[in-house]
Amino acid sequence: MTEMVYGALPVQDGEPVLPKWWRTVDKWSMVAVLVLFGIGLLLGMAASPPLAAKNGFAPFHYVQKQVIFGSAALCAMLLTSMMSPVLVRRLATLGFLAAFVALIGLPFFGTDFGKGAVRWYSLGFASLQPSEFLKPGFVVVAAWLMAANEEINGPPGRMWSFMLMITIVLMLAMQPDFGQASLVLFGWAVMYFVSGAPMTLIGAIIVGIYPAARFAYLNSEHFARRIDGFLDRSVDPTTQIGYATNAIQEGGLYGVGVGEGQVKWSLPDAHTDFIIAVAAEEYGLILVLVVIALFSLVVVRSFFRLMRERNPFIRLAGTGLAAMFGVQAMINMGVAVRLLPSKGMTLPFVSYGGSSLIAGGIAVGMLLAFTRTRPQGEIGDLLRGHVR
């Protein structure tokens, strides 16, 4: 318990892998992720039986699949968190290349499952969404390029990372998947800011979002429909947003009771994109605040640990992963309470979904690997030494 409160102890060279990992890993963040997954299973047992009955499956068919996907995700998280930053970088680069190729092949071999956006590969027994696996790999590759930019005679890494980001955003927008495109843009922008980018360029990117959004609105019926629905003051009670809004209002502070919620019978995405509406209706605001606190715990602790990191690559990659993790959760919950337009984005470790769970496990595993305590001084020591 002392280590969990005050931080892990510095590691002696030659220490076995498991004791070394246990001493250095951020245990609070790891526990928070495990609790989030447990809450996801609890909510899945409430939200998924109506969909299972509709599709002719056993009541807890989707919960059982979630356990399988979640077990794989947690194993991936633990194994990745034990790796060195160099090994994480190498494997993430290979994973990014594979996901990038898969993203290119989506228009030719992908499917939309009747949702109007070609984002998945159908594997028969499951589906694969390449963009979920692309995100953590992109963060690591972009951080590597930005860090290389700071080296003497290094490559123009910032420019290369910008070009890579633009390429990915355009490919995602063509699916269309504006939610994932926004996440990639945001993750890159955070890393770019932390790397010391000039504010003028960041301001230019922000200003450039408006004409890009206007172009998407005028040329994408999918995008325009969601924006119009968000801006419309009246909420159609028969839409997903209408059902979710009503469920949150009905839940109040303590909820209507376990199994007593009605939104799961009306929302086709109650177990995925709108899982927080099920939580709010059956368990009330209390559980929603617990979920928010758990996500905040992971993000804030990661940022504080990264502030002490000297290695620029580790600092940038960890910051991008933590920011993307937190913002994805914020977007999912923001959509449910109508603070943001509908995005079709899952709540990490809580929503149902194989690709989202496994990719999330890999991403958090990378984050835990980057935030492990290493035998180094505070980054402030470098600044004080420079001043002297």
> Which residues, including other chains, have CB under 8 Å from residue 357's CB and lie 6 or more apart?
66, 69, 70, 72, 73, 349
pLDDT on residue 362: 97
Give 264 or 135, the one with higher predicted confidence: 135
Q: Rounded to whole angstroms, how far apart are CA atoms 135 and 360?
A: 10
pLDDT in tens, 181-214: 999 999 999 999 898 877 777 777 778 777 877 8
Distance CA 349, CA 361 (A): 8
d(Cα 183, Cα 186) in Å, to the nearest integer? Answer: 5
The pLDDT value given to residue 175? 84
Overall average pLDDT of the 337-364 stretch? 89
Q: Where are the beta strands (DSSP E) in the chain?
A: 121-122, 127-128
The residue type of 229 is: G
Please write the tens of the pLDDT for every residue from 211-237: 877 877 777 776 777 777 677 666 666
- Helix, coil or strand: residue 104: helix
Buried b (16+ CB within 10 A) or exposed e, 151-173: eeeeeebbebbbebbeebbebbb
| 120: three-class secondary structure by DSSP | strand
- Pure H helices in 220-306: 221-231, 240-251, 275-306
**pLDDT surpassing 50 at residue 57:** yes
What pLDDT is stored for residue 236 in this prediction?
A: 61
pLDDT in tens, 93-131: 999 999 999 999 998 998 887 777 788 888 877 788 999
**pLDDT for the residue 323:** 96
Beta carbons of 6 and 356 less than 8 angstroms apart: no
> What is the Cα–Cα distance from 262 to 280, expressed in whole angstroms?
12
How far is 44 from 279, CA to CA, in rounded Å? 10
pTM of the model: 0.88
The phi, psi pair for 111, rounded to 5°, reads: -140, 160
Whether the Cβ atoms of residue 302 and residue 318 lie closer than 8 Å to each other: yes
Q: How confident is the model at residue 297 (pLDDT cuts 50, 70, 90)?
A: very high
pLDDT digits (tens, 9 = 90+) for 166-186: 999 999 988 888 889 999 999
Tell me the DSSP string of 46-96.
HHSHHHHHHTT--TTHHHHHHHHHHHHHHHHHHHHHTS-HHHHHHHHHHHH
* Nearest C-alpha neighbor of 74 from the set 349, 388, 383, 353: 349
* 184 close to 345: Cβ distance less than 8 angstroms: no
pLDDT per residue over 143-166, tens digit each?
Answer: 999 999 888 888 899 999 999 999
